[in-house]
Amino acid sequence: MEPMTLPRPTLLPTYAINHADHVLIAGPGGVVQPGGNAGFYAADTRLLSCHRVTVDGRSPEPIQDVPLRFYSIRHVLRDAETGLVLVLDRSVRGGVHEDYVLQTTGRAPVQAELAIEVDGDFADLFEVRGIGLEAPQRAVASRWDPAAGELRLGYRNGTFARGLAIRCRPWPAPWRWDDGRLVMPVALSPRSALHLCLTWLPSGDDRPVSEAPACHAGVRLEPERDGAPLRAPRLETANAALGRAWTTATWDMEALRLPIPDATGSDGPGSVPAAGLPWYLTLFGRDSIITSLQAMPFYPELGRGTLERLAALQATDDDPLRDEEPGKILHEMRSGEVARLGLLPFHPYYGTHDATPLYVTLLSDLYDWTGDLRLVERFLPAAEAAIGWIERFGDRDGDGFLEYQARSPHGFPNQGWKDAADAIPHADGSLAPAPLALCEHQAYAYEARLRLAELYDALAREADAARLRADAARLRDRFNDVFWWEEEGIYYLGLDGEKRPIRSVASNAGHCLASGIVPPNRAARVAARLLADDMWSGWGIRTLSAEHPAYDPFSYHTGSVWPHDNATIAAGFAVAGLRDQVARVARATFEAAAELPGLRLPELFSGLRRGDGGPPVPYPGANVPQAWAASALFRLVILLCGIAARADRAGGARVYLDPALPEWLGDVTLRGVRAAGATLDLHVAGTASTVLDNGSGLVVEHGSPPSRFPDGSG
């Protein structure tokens, strides 16, 4: 065997790798230190809370941590006393597979004791994050099976049960269980190697045990670029930083994909986007919908999966404890002990006021890109129930506007996308009292009515379409009378519980632009206000004006910058025909991605003003990757390339190309635009588009698509 060359030291302070809703969080050298938030989680439960490797009682020195795929990492460690080098490869897929390769580097034989300390606390994810109820004292059972070389950890509380089996290989071999440690004696001749494996297999009361990936010791694991289960779009550009950020975003989309369970509880073929890593690897209504909308031209299957899963869980009861009302789309689905036993109402929880109208928009968008009327017919009952919720429950006082107020004692006080408790302040910084009618919620409800009216047109239900358009027109007129803030040239953040305007300049108003509810003569004023110095950080549009008393650049929703928020606003600029403003937001976002760790857009980052040469300042605790941040990159490129689709009444869909690439970006080639079951490759330069591949004969038109709004915008 050739001598091993030690790599250059590169250590990660902490990392997370995942596959579906299984995630492993560890520190340098792969250590899972008890007492923090590190561990192996499955279905919102921490199954393993301690993992430490020792050689003769010593902790080997971490030399290098090498992320290989979103679900795989390699650690290199060295024990200075024996000269042993330990290469530990970990992969999360179904469970966790660990490959240990121990190699001697000197001329003397080595005899040592390898020990792996393991333990599990079976803590609920809410407890780990310090949210919810006080952590109970759990009785965790452990059993070593010497005949199988397997350690079993388990916990049960009534109907809730979780387990973790750790299998030692090779077997038979002299593995033993010794007071919390898996122990293996090691005897190696000079410059020889020993290969060992551990496999962690989770089990639970709602899912079968699945096998972890096979052993890959000695096989170089390269980052996955091709052949991923999702067909990743490719962007070819001279802007190297954007190209790398795009590739990273496609990896993130794969990493944040959840399988849809079938009738038996096993993973079916469909999938939905989870929200983010590490704490939001679950189904969210708003996040999954917005991600699907932003990624639609490349991943229509995610849109279909999201519609399917959310329809299956659409509310049918009126349950105040869950903030549930008939027709409502869920906010969040959790599967841990706290949720499953009803200690907190998250299995599922319905405290969101925007996911329901956005569901209708997603169905309309999927129809535009697929031209498949069967999908409309399949999900139409859910869309009609969503509109029914808007009309019956979303408007709490009958004034024509959507208002929210938590009914659950454990519910979220804010139920828009800015759901932090301090997210909606009055002009003096005091919190606006509920019920709250946010400006963007009215816009979502307006667009949902217009979108469903279009679907009724496709189904030859003219009377139903006319009724919805009339309802939408009344909402549009009343909204522009009540919510318009003439002095600031923008819409009020919302109305409080006493119907007083919330006079705070915030990014929420930008979400109104894409819906068509904003008249053309006001759109440019809204855009100018959002791009003014107090809202524009240089890296993007802030969530709240820097001149506001509640402004904090390190807050979650009152001064930070969110990529998906900016992409949504840019889409509104595009609807209003404000192409220079679209390019300004896109450029800042691309440049932020180039400066942030890993060339990756996080959930959010600080709203501090852009300095001379300084990078954007990360937000502590931001989820990275985050699905709607990753897909925001797709939306911005699509906007610059001017790509849109409309369902064709004759069947199928038409793609429209109306680009306006700014000079600073140059030309791009985009491969993998998907519509009506076909795939397009495009080259875009300035205001010209060239179709490189259209083997399926998809109908492509140059120019803007037909307007879907009464004023002719969009």
pLDDT at 223: 41
Closest CA to 76 of 68, 91, 90, 86: 86
- Residues 324, 197 within the same domain: no
Per-residue model confidence as pLDDT tens digits over 33-55: 998 999 999 999 999 999 999 99
The average confidence (pLDDT) of the chain is: 92
Whether residues 686 and 626 share a domain: the answer is no
* 3-state per-residue secondary structure call for 549-591: CCCCCCCCCCCCECHHHHHHHHHHHHHCCCHHHHHHHHHHHHH
Spatial contact of 189 and 104, defined as CB atoms under 8 Å apart = yes
Do residues 647 and 699 make contact, with C-beta atoms less than 8 angstroms apart? Answer: no
Task: Please report whether residue 663 resides in a domain.
Answer: yes
User: How much is the average pLDDT of 238-265?
Assistant: 87
Long-range contacts of 186-189 (CB under 8 A, 24+ apart): 186/84, 186/102, 186/110, 186/111, 186/112, 186/113, 186/114, 187/109, 187/110, 187/111, 188/84, 188/102, 188/103, 188/104, 188/109, 188/110, 188/111, 189/104, 189/109
For position 213, what pLDDT does the model report? Answer: 57
Rounded Cα distance between 233 and 438, Å, is 35
- Is the domain of 24 the same as that of 90? yes
Q: In the predicted model, what is the mean pLDDT of residues 474-502?
A: 98
| Cα separation, 472 vs 466, whole angstroms | 10
Do the domain assignments include residue 177? yes
Let me know: does 394 contact 445? Beta carbons within 8 Å: yes
pLDDT at 648: 86
Tell whether 519 and 654 lie within a shared domain.
no
- Tokens representing residue 337 in the block: 């002990």
Per-residue pLDDT tens digits for 92-101: 988 999 999 9
Could you give phi then psi for residue 462, rounded to 5 degrees? Answer: -65, -40
With a pLDDT cut of 70, the percent of the chain lying above it is: 93
Rounded Cα gap, residues 529 and 142, in angstroms:
61
Task: Specify whether 636 is located in the same domain as 655.
Answer: no
Domain hosting 433: range is 234-645
- As a whole number of angstroms, the distance between CA 41 and CA 49 comes to 9
**Sign of the C-alpha dihedral, residues 489, 495, 501, 507?**
negative
* 184 and 280 both lie in a single domain: no
Residue 315 sits in the same domain as residue 459: yes
Place of tokens 């599990």: 120
Taking a C-beta distance cutoff of 8 angstroms, is the pair 23, 75 a contact? no
Average pLDDT over residues 503-516: 97
- Provide the CATH number for the domain around residue 136: 2.70.98.40
Q: Which of 596, 623, 645 is the last residue of a domain?
A: 645
Q: Of 155, 183, 204, at which residue does a domain stop? A: 204
Whether residue 574 sits in one domain with residue 462: yes
Position 217 in a domain: no
Q: For residues 639 and 659, state if they share a domain.
A: no
* pLDDT for residue 265 is more than 80: no
Same domain, 305 and 173: no
State how far the alpha carbon of 653 is from the alpha carbons of 234, 259, 535, 701, 704, in Å: 22, 27, 38, 11, 14
Residue 105 clears pLDDT 60, i.e. is over it: yes
For the chain, how many structural domains are there in total? Answer: 3
Q: How does pLDDT run across 118-129, given as a tens digit for each residue?
A: 999 999 999 998
- The answer as to whether 487 is a domain residue is yes
pLDDT for res 221:
46
Together in a domain, 669 and 598: no
**Structural contact between residues 528 and 538, judged by C-beta atoms closer than 8 angstroms:** no
Predicted pLDDT at 270: 83
Residue 3 within a domain: no
Q: Does residue 219 register a pLDDT over 60?
A: no
Does residue 228 form part of some domain?
Answer: no
Determine, yes or no, domain membership for 22.
Answer: yes
Q: How many CB atoms lie within 10 A of CB 530?
A: 26
> How do 72-78 and 61-69 pair as beta strands?
antiparallel
Q: Give yes or no: residues 82 and 30 share one domain.
A: yes
SS (H, E, C) 484-525: EECCCCEECCEECCCCCEECCCECHHHHHHCCCCCCHHHHHH
Residue 161 placed within a domain: yes
- pLDDT above 50: residue 684: yes
pLDDT at 111 > cutoff 80: yes
Choose among 577, 529, 571, 684: nearest CA to 589: 571
Residue 222: pLDDT over 60: no
CA-based diameter of the chain, in Å? 88
Higher-pLDDT residue of 222, 349: 349
> Looking at residues 644-661, what average pLDDT do you find?
91
Cα–Cα distance measured from residue 189 to residue 604, given in angstroms and rounded to the nearest whole number: 52
Q: What pLDDT score does 668 carry? A: 96
Give 130's pLDDT tier (boundaries 50, 70, 90).
confident
Q: How far is CA 628 from CA 167, 284, 292, 616, 631, in A?
A: 37, 11, 8, 19, 5
